[in-house]
A and B are shown apart, each in its own frame.
Chain A
Amino acid sequence: MASWQWFHRLGSPRWFYEKTGGWLPWLTAVALVLLVLGTVWGLAFSPEDFKQGNSYRIIYIHVPAAFLALAGYYIMAVCGAVGLIWRMKLAFMVMKSAAPIGAGLTFVSLVTGAIWGKPTWGTWWAWDARITSMLILFFLYLGIMALQSAFQNREAADKASAILALVGTVNIPIIYKSVDWWYTLHQPATLKLTSAPTIHASMLYPLLTMVVAFYVFYAVVLLLYTRHEILRRESRTGWVRELIAKEGGL
């Protein structure tokens, strides 16, 4: 069972807290460097689009945010499933932390989409299939957060919101396929796994940089939230008290 040892260790919040403490400064540094690099490259050095001019530059925020809004939902649902099946406390803590971050990113992608939509499509908001689905995703995040905070009992809160997150996953494939089904305003995905991207290399590389930057940034924020959650939930245990005594805090 040696191969499973890491998995069981992962179940221990203390192990997780101590391990990730060392990673955090490095990840933060990488995220900052990539964010600055991608932003400067995308806004200042990449060329104008031949049709949309400068307004296309908002993809450097819109696309990564939308990517992570979706990926974040999957991360949350998978953590919920792991928590329900293996009864792992840590998974629930990650799930709880992922919800507000995902909601924030969904909001960012909706707002940047609206700002982009005004000059290109001629409207702030269209009840287009993909925009509507993103809005529903936002509502799902809000519902999960509301359910999480409604329970007095922490275990019930975790399990109930995990079930809701899993039920909500039915919506995600609908969101993803909606553009093909309804053929509406929103353009199909630019970055595809199976075929070459339909964006010129001078614009693609800054975009990819921004996507990676957002992923690392997401990891940093998720770690911070989760570590905070661990300290809150484990505040009565010996190791957290020791930690506080050592840091000479509070």
Chain B
Amino acid sequence: MTAETSSRAMTGTFGATLRRDLLLAARHPGDWINPLVFFLIAISLIPLGVGPESKVLAVLAPGVLWVMALLATLLSLDGLFRSDFEDGALEQCLVSPSLLYFTVLAKVVAHWLVTGLPLTLLSPVLGLMLSLPGGYGTLCLSLLIGTATMSLVGAVGAALTVSLQRGGLLLSLIVMPLYVPILIFGASAVNDAAQGVEVGVPLAILGAFLALALALAPMAASAALRVCVDSD
């Protein structure tokens, strides 16, 4: 086999999985629209709960936007491997000779493209509704990095709970503690930006989390899939 065809085989695993998942998402718009709608509704509940005073909302805005984005990501994670597990496609991936790492990575990238990216694009509008004083660029950038990291870390949790009947709640329980550092630095970046402070440090740390998650999370998720899919 020449190098060219083998490289095509490699991009084949990643590319084919990515294309397939995106196609599936396009056919089931509910899967990716629902987390967005959740984000929208949950954010609009905040002014109704704490009062419409824009001064208070401005203080709360960075944290609220980040917490809600976290919850929306969490809600969408349950479906990451579930349908593939139920129709047997996941088992096919497990027995195929190509590395599970790239299959998992492709599925996570697809998941981020249909949840994290739209969430990020929607966030400035919601920032306006919460009268966020500034730092819209940082809001988008931090959410862009943060939602990608959360998709990767969440994939481990989704893989661990894939074979469980009611895995959704348990998934949130085990993944939320792992999200804490991302939330801290993400929200503090937006907070700083809104007050006009330098944000290089929290963004660099968020980037470090993303790089670490890219290297390790798909491996942990693959191991988890092997354990959970084989056993049941």
Whether the complex brings A and B within 8 Å at their CB atoms is answered yes
Residues of A near any B CB (own CB < 8 A): 84, 132, 136, 139-140, 142-144, 146-147, 150-153, 155-156, 159-160, 163-164, 166-168, 170-171, 174
The docked-state distance in angstroms from the alpha carbon of A171 to that of B175 is: 13
Q: Are the C-beta atoms of B177 and A171 separated by less than 8 Å?
A: yes
Q: Are the C-beta atoms of A164 and B174 separated by less than 8 Å?
A: yes
Chain B min CB distance to A38 (Å): 32
Ordered by A's residue number, 29 sampled pairs between the chains whose C-beta atoms are within 8 Å are A136-B180, A139-B177, A140-B177, A142-B173, A143-B174, A143-B177, A144-B174, A146-B173, A146-B174, A147-B161, A147-B170, A147-B174, A150-B167, A152-B232, A153-B232, A155-B231, A156-B163, A156-B228, A156-B232, A159-B227, A160-B227, A160-B228, A163-B156, A163-B223, A163-B224, A164-B174, A168-B177, A168-B178, A171-B181
Interface contacts beyond A139-B177, A156-B227: sample of 9 additional A-B pairs, CB < 8 Å, sorted by A:
A143-B174, A151-B163, A160-B224, A164-B156, A164-B174, A166-B220, A167-B220, A170-B212, A171-B181
Q: Are the C-beta atoms of B223 and A171 separated by less than 8 Å?
A: no
The docked-state distance in angstroms from the alpha carbon of A239 to that of B180 is: 47
B119 within 8 A of A: no
B160 within 8 A of A: yes
The docked-state distance in angstroms from the alpha carbon of A159 to that of B163 is: 13
Residues of B near any A CB (own CB < 8 A): 156, 160-161, 163-164, 167, 170, 173-174, 176-178, 180-181, 212, 220, 223-224, 227-228, 231-232
Q: Are the C-beta atoms of A139 and B176 separated by less than 8 Å?
A: yes
Q: Are the C-beta atoms of B170 and A150 separated by less than 8 Å?
A: yes
Residue of chain A at shortest CB distance from B164: A150
For residue B220, which residues in chain A have a CB less than 8 angstroms away from its CB? 163, 166-167
The docked-state distance in angstroms from the alpha carbon of A163 to that of B224 is: 7
Residue of chain A at shortest CB distance from B220: A167
The docked-state distance in angstroms from the alpha carbon of A163 to that of B180 is: 19
Q: Are the C-beta atoms of B178 and A163 separated by less than 8 Å?
A: no
Residue of chain A at shortest CB distance from B226: A159
Indicate the member of B163, B227, B228 with the most A CB atoms within 10 Å.
B227
Q: Are the C-beta atoms of A167 and B156 separated by less than 8 Å?
A: yes
Q: Is the interface of B mostly helix, strand, loop or mixed?
A: helix
Indicate the member of A132, A146, A164, A171 with the most B CB atoms within 10 Å.
A164
Chain A min CB distance to B79 (Å): 18
Q: Are the C-beta atoms of A160 and B160 separated by less than 8 Å?
A: yes
The docked-state distance in angstroms from the alpha carbon of A164 to that of B224 is: 9
Residue of chain B at shortest CB distance from A166: B220
The docked-state distance in angstroms from the alpha carbon of A143 to that of B169 is: 11
Chain B min CB distance to A136 (Å): 5
The docked-state distance in angstroms from the alpha carbon of A96 to that of B50 is: 43
For residue B180, which residues in chain A have a CB less than 8 angstroms away from its CB? 132, 136
- With beta carbons under 8 angstroms apart, the residue of A136, A150, A151 that contacts B177 is A136
For residue B173, which residues in chain A have a CB less than 8 angstroms away from its CB? 142-143, 146
The docked-state distance in angstroms from the alpha carbon of A163 to that of B219 is: 11
Q: Are the C-beta atoms of B170 and A153 separated by less than 8 Å?
A: no
The docked-state distance in angstroms from the alpha carbon of A157 to that of B176 is: 20
For residue B228, which residues in chain A have a CB less than 8 angstroms away from its CB? 156, 160
The docked-state distance in angstroms from the alpha carbon of A139 to that of B179 is: 12
Chain B min CB distance to A145 (Å): 10
Chain B min CB distance to A238 (Å): 26
For residue A139, which residues in chain B have a CB less than 8 angstroms away from its CB? 176-177
Indicate the member of B164, B178, B212, B220 with the most A CB atoms within 10 Å.
B178
List the 7 shortest-distance A-B pairs measured between CB atoms, nearest first: A156-B231, A143-B174, A139-B177, A159-B227, A153-B231, A160-B160, A136-B177
Chain B min CB distance to A119 (Å): 28
Chain A min CB distance to B221 (Å): 9
The docked-state distance in angstroms from the alpha carbon of A216 to that of B100 is: 43
For residue B170, which residues in chain A have a CB less than 8 angstroms away from its CB? 146-147, 150
The docked-state distance in angstroms from the alpha carbon of A159 to that of B156 is: 13
Residue of chain B at shortest CB distance from A181: B205
Indicate the member of A132, A147, A168 with the most B CB atoms within 10 Å.
A147
The docked-state distance in angstroms from the alpha carbon of A152 to that of B231 is: 10
